[in-house]
Amino acid sequence: MKHLIASAAMLTSLVSAGPLPLIPLPVTMKTAEGSFDFSPDTAIRFDRSLQNEADLLAADLQTLGAAKPKTVPAEQKILLPSEIRLLLDASADLPASGYKLVIAEGGVVVTGKDAAGVYYGTRSILQLLPAEGDPAWKDDAPEKLPALEIIDYPRFAWRGMMLDVGRHFNPPGDVKHFIDWMAFHKLNVFHWHLTDDQGWRIEIKKYPKLTETGAWRDSSPPYGNRNSDDHQRHGGFYTQEEIKEVVAYASARHITIVPEIEMPGHAAAAIASYPEFGNSDISGYAPRVQTRWGVHPYIFAPKEETFRFLEDVLTEVCALFPSKFIHIGGDEAPKGQWEQSPTAQQVMKREGLKNEEELQSWFVGRIGKFLESKDRRLIGWDEIQEGGLSKTATMMVWRDAKWAKHALALGNDVVMATNSDLYFDHYQAPATAELAKGSEYEAIGGYLPIEKVYAYNPTSVAETPEQEKHILGTQAQLWAEYSKDMKKVEYMAFPRMAALAEVAWTPLARKNFDDFRSRLDGVMNHYEGGHLNFARPTPSPAKGADK
């Protein structure tokens, strides 16, 4: 590592024909004279343990427009006229997920510290080639990759995107497509928000009513009138076989899926399916799958039957998702039903809890101990600390940075996901400009230009180097109340995902928005070729203009 840091100071980009369209920007890069001719004769030679990475690269090159390259294991000593070489070197002077990419006239070599590093090196190759549908693929001339040397590795281990499918269901194929574009940007955590008041999206074998009842709602607010109804039944869910397939698909692309099962609040769909697990001892108790957005009062009851139910659910979830982290939500849990419930009040008295906030902390702590028994770690939104934070819990910070400071002072790990900088359900451009294009451009509110995403520094909340070590990384959120399908999700995600990628990967000292913006044009060519419904970034308005 010391050698790498010393080398970084000496390596500079010498690009003369404009910036190379690489996002995130590599840690170090130097260019040289000449280029490599990528042609139909180019094959992929790979270390035997890198079969997956070789196959994915070959398939991706074919998608771009190239002839699908031959893949050849390294032990087959056959002569190849032109090759991309994939090497694994666990002893390389690189951090985890790091890689070295060398492009020269004689060939291309990707050397990875691990398989993930090799994969990330192949993503850089793809970005340097013409986009899918580019006329360059149709002529007979080889595509020229510029001669260069890159040494690269991520700033953070957690580089995430959250997708909410509870509000609007996205079919498995759409989810895989989204994962492809995460991989293109070297992101590695897909936070799958699978349950909420408006829908339960994961099959649980022991509790079939969760999907028979909880996966469907009678109506949704239409675009442009969030307090009305479209009177159209909406829903859907993922079978366990579909879940396994998506998990394997993501894993092949070095993306971990972190599932979220909301508790104790945002639970109306689950409680509508099994009313006995809610606070059925209060007056006016009538749970149903919600048809309006916002925060709703239905919250799991803190009783033994409920914990058995949740443990059963999480047992099936843990069997489907190998992720070390299991997200339990914990946000926006109204305490009104607990205040009215004799059962909840008896639990508080029995456990010596002063208030309902401590009851929630007790609830979360009990779930955390169960997850520990499964060799998993609990992660939740920052409300999980309001009645006291478990020493083993990881906090995902979505509100004010003060919550991160609180958790870091206690020695807990955090993931920075603040709504002020990383909520991609906010407008890409000022609301008046977006809504002038049609009501389908409606967002929940707020204005988050790409410049603001890019300026975010997840470690700004740390007060000491030791605290900085507890910041696992960063993540953007795509809440889907106002994203009825994947095309709208894409519009909200891109190109802000590119800015997130550079925040999560590139060293802080290397970041420069003007340079990023010049590289983004080349990456947006790939968006266009891949038929993404992305937003064209516009300059931010002057201060005081419409937000």
Please state, rounded to an integer, the average pLDDT across all residues of the chain. Answer: 94
> Catalytic residue at 312?
no
Say if residue 120 is in the same domain as residue 215: no
Q: What is the dihedral of CA 545, 513, 16, 42, to 10 degrees?
A: -110
Residue ranges with strand state E in 306-459: 325-329, 377-381, 394-397, 414-416
Average pLDDT over residues 451-460: 97
Q: What is the pLDDT of residues 374-426, one digit of tens each?
A: 999 999 999 999 888 888 999 999 998 889 999 999 999 999 999 999 999 99
User: Which of the four pLDDT bands, split at 50, 70 and 90, describes residue 139?
Assistant: confident
CA dihedral for 247, 25, 158, 201, sign (positive or negative): negative
Average pLDDT over residues 125-136: 96
pLDDT score of 177 more than 80: yes
> Catalytic residue at 481?
no
Average pLDDT over residues 269-293: 98
> Would 76 be classed as within a structural domain?
yes
**Of 85, 120, 152, which residue sits at a domain end?**
152
DSSP single-letter state for residue 24: S
In 3D space, the residue among 450, 402, 408, 403 whose CA is nearest the CA of residue 426 turns out to be 450
Per-residue exposure over 499-520, b if at least 16 CB sit within 10 Å of its own CB, e if not? bbbbbbbbeeebbeeeebbebb
Say if residue 403 is in the same domain as residue 481: yes
Say if residue 130 is in the same domain as residue 226: no
Q: Which among 47, 83, 164, 196 is annotated as catalytic? A: 196
**Of 96, 131, 152, which residue sits at a domain end?**
152
Say if residue 193 is in the same domain as residue 122: no
Q: Show the tokens assigned to 264.
A: 């104790």
DSSP bridge pairs for 88:
112
pLDDT score of 99 more than 70: yes
Say if residue 207 is in the same domain as residue 142: no
pLDDT score of 13 more than 50: no
Average pLDDT over residues 338-357: 98
pLDDT score of 3 more than 50: no
> Would 507 be classed as within a structural domain?
yes
Q: What is the pLDDT of residues 200-229, one digit of tens each?
A: 999 999 999 999 999 999 999 999 999 999
- What residues make up the domain containing 61? 2-152
pLDDT score of 133 more than 50: yes
Q: At what angle do helices 172-184 and 486-493 cross, to 10 degrees?
A: 20
The answer to whether 275 touches 287, Cβ cutoff 8 Å, is yes
Helices assigned H by DSSP within 389-512? 401-410, 419-422, 431-435, 450-455, 465-469, 486-493, 496-505
CA distance 148 to 13: 9
Say if residue 353 is in the same domain as residue 449: yes
Q: Which among 234, 266, 426, 470 is annotated as catalytic? A: 266
pTM as predicted: 0.95
User: Which of the four pLDDT bands, split at 50, 70 and 90, describes residue 2?
Assistant: very low
11-17 CB contacts, 8 Å cutoff, 24+ apart: 11/149, 11/151, 15/146
Say if residue 237 is in the same domain as residue 279: yes
Say if residue 115 is in the same domain as residue 129: yes
Residue 202: give its domain's CATH number: 3.20.20.80
At which residue do the structure tokens 């190109």 appear? Answer: 495
The pLDDT value given to residue 77: 85
Phi then psi for residue 82, to 5 deg, are -160, 130
Say if residue 125 is in the same domain as residue 250: no
pLDDT score of 103 more than 50: yes
The answer to whether 493 touches 424, Cβ cutoff 8 Å, is yes
CA distance 530 to 181: 9
Average pLDDT over residues 257-284: 98
> Would 142 be classed as within a structural domain?
yes
Say if residue 145 is in the same domain as residue 190: no
Q: Show the tokens assigned to 105.
A: 């006239």
At which residue do the structure tokens 């790990």 appear? Answer: 413
DSSP single-letter state for residue 357: H
> Would 534 be classed as within a structural domain?
no
The answer to whether 385 touches 406, Cβ cutoff 8 Å, is yes
Q: Show the tokens assigned to 462.
A: 């740390």
DSSP single-letter state for residue 25: P
Q: Which among 93, 149, 332, 339 is annotated as catalytic? A: 332
The pLDDT value given to residue 16: 36
> Would 547 be classed as within a structural domain?
no
> Would 539 be classed as within a structural domain?
no
If one counts the domains in the chain, the total is: 2
> Would 359 be classed as within a structural domain?
yes
DSSP bridge pairs for 260:
193, 327
Residue ranges with strand state E in 491-546: none
> Would 546 be classed as within a structural domain?
no
The pLDDT value given to residue 17: 47
> Catalytic residue at 196?
yes
Say if residue 389 is in the same domain as residue 460: yes
Say if residue 261 is in the same domain as residue 214: yes
The pLDDT value given to residue 541: 66
Residue 85: give its domain's CATH number: 3.30.379.10
Give the SS3 label for residue 33. Answer: strand
